[in-house]
Structure 1
């Protein structure tokens, strides 16, 4: 379920009118203050350990000397829930309108042929109008977050090229190549996956890139262990971390039950019988969510990396270029630059030294 990724990309590619309406002056002033604090914040270097017990809770899809590939993306445990809700609301609208027409035609002045003609025209026009609204106002967007799209979002850490590749749908930023050396981890959100991001202050790009990696965490230590696993793999090699279990990409139904329980095991392990009883009573809801997740997986396709990324790091093969705003279509590129002040303060000194120039001030208005 790609709501978070879609929202992030949509917010960074708004036009001028939409930007002013959605964000507003007060919001921009608050972000400006946050960015000024971020400029002064110290971050641990990539060669500094954060945990003594590196481990990955997965799912891991590839693990070798060249690259580590994992699932990424947020709100995976809600996947398969939005589609039936959206379709139910839409069909409810259909049913209500058709019911109104049926009551109208059952009036006292009943005329078979005229009623039939009115019914055909009314039902046909109503159907066409509803489908027009469905596409005109993009009511299909929630369905596209979990149906007829990528079966999963992927992140690949390549040791040979020291790059990180993100595989996302086009409406969420598409396939992106980022530098490992510019990565920032935020292993602090209990109940959330590990958050990784690349901020314009570091990359010099007019947009931020971030993703959630792996499963939801039950404790803060889970996130630290996950990040340490990735960090040691990239810095010291695969022999420096415990070998993870590599999962098949076949959408087995039991895989769809896992997201409902991610992050719960530590709580259940230390909980009393009342907590266990509550979870047992909620098990039918978990089964329904798992079934919806599995159907969503079956109606999606497996993402495939571009050839240059599949071959990255092999002898004699080219190294993928890092993603820039110019890699997108002209209108998207223009909007990314337009919204650059969402990420970096406008009062950044354009004549700053080279070190500060990495913050991105060269492309600010």
Structure 2
């Protein structure tokens, strides 16, 4: 789930030794950030859509702050599926196999067989322990991959506080950590001079950039915002929804249909469906699409199960006390 954020963090904080061979690309990137940092200054005041929409992306909204989800929530479960043989072996052996073998090792008798332990039994016991130790070593080595979607906070939350005029990002340290930025410094992946009206369906991502030339931070930062957006029209509508909330207040936008943070199992069914949603909308109930859904349904159910298990193996988002107080403040701190 957090692989893209982790990769972006590594890229944006790379040292000179890490980017050897890519110095030219990095210089071009730095020039682009300076250009966009100047070109899009003041974009918070410019309307880009006539139909602001929450785009199924709001956790909570009140008169002070609004919590918005990030893009890659559906992209989880793959790590859990990939490591499932390792995880099953890691827990199956010490629970069902190793205890009896260990008893036989110390008593010299095979439990339930009524005979003494032979040389072959000792070899089998040593081999089984060796297999389990290999599983354990592999899990320790791959634990950083496991943490991408398990034993970590359940979601990344981006909080927009219209009273303090700041943006608060709550995410794991390896994915960028908690950050606070001024609303006036954000650059969104929309063109403030272009009002998009097309509704052609395609997967879109609303990206918020925080260039170090504007924030004063040591590194650039980026966050991928919103549900899997279904067109550039929806992308602009979501940015307009956020922009109006921050600039004009909640009375200027429709009330959102807030999404729950609790991991209800039926919501995990929407995760695999999101990858077929646009194709289905282009040709609903066509024989070809019905056949595709039927063929893919076992994989989709497996993905949904892994997605739900991944959520259950995570903990709810926790805001540190100082950040919680500041991000919910009803006046500038």
TM range (shorter): 0.7 to 0.9
> 8 Å contact 2:161–2:167 — kept in the other structure?
yes
Deviations 1:109-163, CA, capped at 9 Å, x for gaps: xx9633333333343344334423432xx31222211111111111110001111
Alignment of 1:211-226 (within 5 A): 211-226=223-238
CA distance in 2 between counterparts of 1:34 and 1:297 reads 36
CA distance in 2, matches of 1:266, 1:28: 39
Matched, 1:35 2:30: yes
What TM-score results when the alignment is normalised by the length of structure 1?
A: 0.72
RMSD (CA atoms): 3.0
Residues 44-53 or 225-234, more deviating: 44-53
Partner of 2:5: 5
- The verdict on how the C-alpha distance between 1:124 and 1:262 changes in structure 2, with shifts beyond 3 A counting, is closer
Alpha-carbon distance change, 73 to 38 in structure 1, aligned in 2, over 3 angstroms: same
- Per-residue Cα deviation, 1:294-340 (whole angstroms, up to 9, x for no partner): 1111121101212333333536x872xxxxxxxxxxxxxxxxxxxxx
Q: Specify the SS of the correspondent of 1:56.
A: coil
State the Cα distance separating 1:248 from its structure 2 match: 2.7
Once the two structures are TM-superposed, the CA of residue 80 in structure 1 deviates from its matched residue by 1.2
Separation in structure 2 between the aligned mates of residue 13 and residue 270 of structure 1, nearest angstrom: 41
| Number of the residue aligned with 1:83 | 80
| 1:131 aligned to which of 123, 129, 136 | 136
Runs of at least 5 residues in structure 2 that lack an aligned partner in the other structure: 93-115, 192-200
1:289 equivalent in structure 2 = 303
Q: Distance in 1 between matches of 2:206 and 2:174?
A: 22
Alignment of 1:95-174 (within 5 A): 113-135=118-140, 138-174=141-177
Which secondary structure does the structure 1 equivalent of 2:59 belong to?
A: strand
Q: Which residues of structure 1 form unaligned runs of 5+?
A: 96-110, 320-365
C-alpha spacing 1:165/1:171, structure 2 compared with 1 (3 Å): same
CA distance in 2, matches of 1:94, 1:303: 27
How many residues are paired up?
296
Distance 2:205 2:35 in 1: 26
What TM-score does the superposition give when structure 2 sets the normalisation length?
0.78
Q: Distance in 2 between matches of 1:234 and 1:264?
A: 33
